[in-house]
Chain A
Amino acid sequence: MKEMNELLRLAEIEGVIGDSQTASLFIDNNKVLSSSGVEGLELKLKEQKDGVDISVRVLPGVVIRKPVHFCFGILHKSRVQKINMDITLEKGAVMNVFSHCIFPKKDPSRHLMEGKINIKEGATFRYFEKHIHSETGSSKVYPHAKVKIGKGARFKTDFELIGGRVGLIDIDYDLYCDADSSSEFLSKISGRGRDIINVRERAILSGENAKAVLRSRIAARDETKAEVLNKITAKAAGSFGHVDCTEILQGRGKVKAYPEVEVLHPLARVTHEASLGGVDNRQLETLMARGLSNLEAEELIIRGILS
Chain B
Amino acid sequence: MEIVAGKIYALVGPNGAGKSTLAYVLMGLDGYREITGDIKLDGKSIKKLSVSQRAKLGLTLAWQEPARFQGLRVEDFLRASSDKDETRIAEALEMVGLKPEKYLGRAVDKTLSGGERKRIELASIICMRPRVVVLDEPDSGVDVEALKKVFEVMEHLKRQGTAVIVITHSMQILRKTERAFLLCEGKIIDESGGEDVAEYFRKRCLVCQHKNKPEGERRTNI
Residues of A that sit less than 8 Å from B by CB: 217, 246, 280-283, 285-294, 296-297, 300-301, 303-307
Contact = CB atoms under 8 A, between A and B. Distances in A.
A300 B73 contact: no
A306 B72 CA distance: 9
A278 B160 CA distance: 38
A246 B51 CA distance: 26
Given A285-B30, A304-B76, A304-B107, A291 B81 contact: yes
B80 interface: yes
B80 A300 contact: yes
A307 B74 CA distance: 13
Interface of B: 27, 29-30, 50-52, 54-56, 60-61, 63, 66-67, 69-73, 76, 80-81, 83, 107-108, 124, 128
B70 A305 contact: yes
Contact of A307 (B51, B67, B72): B72
| Dominant secondary structure at the A interface | helix
A250 to B, nearest CB: 16
B70 A246 contact: yes
A288 B71 CA distance: 18
B52 A294 contact: yes
B78 to A, nearest CB: 9
A286 B64 CA distance: 12
Given A300-B76, A300-B80, A290 B70 contact: no
A303 B76 CA distance: 10
B60 to A, nearest CB: 5
A306 B54 CA distance: 29
Closest 7 CB pairs of A and B: A304-B72, A304-B71, A290-B81, A288-B51, A291-B55, A307-B71, A282-B67
A305 B30 contact: no
B200 to A, nearest CB: 31
Nearest to B107: A304
Contacts of A286: 63, 66-67
A293 B71 contact: no
Contacts of B83: 291
B72 A292 contact: no
Contacts of A283: 67, 69
A297 B61 CA distance: 16
A297 B50 CA distance: 14
21 contacts: A282-B63, A283-B69, A285-B29, A286-B63, A288-B50, A289-B27, A289-B54, A290-B124, A291-B55, A291-B83, A291-B128, A292-B52, A292-B80, A297-B52, A300-B72, A300-B76, A303-B71, A303-B76, A304-B72, A304-B107, A307-B71
B47 to A, nearest CB: 16
Nearest to B58: A291
A286 B118 CA distance: 13
Of listed B61, B70, B76, B108, residue having the most chain A CB within 10 A: B70
Contacts of B54: 289
B82 to A, nearest CB: 9
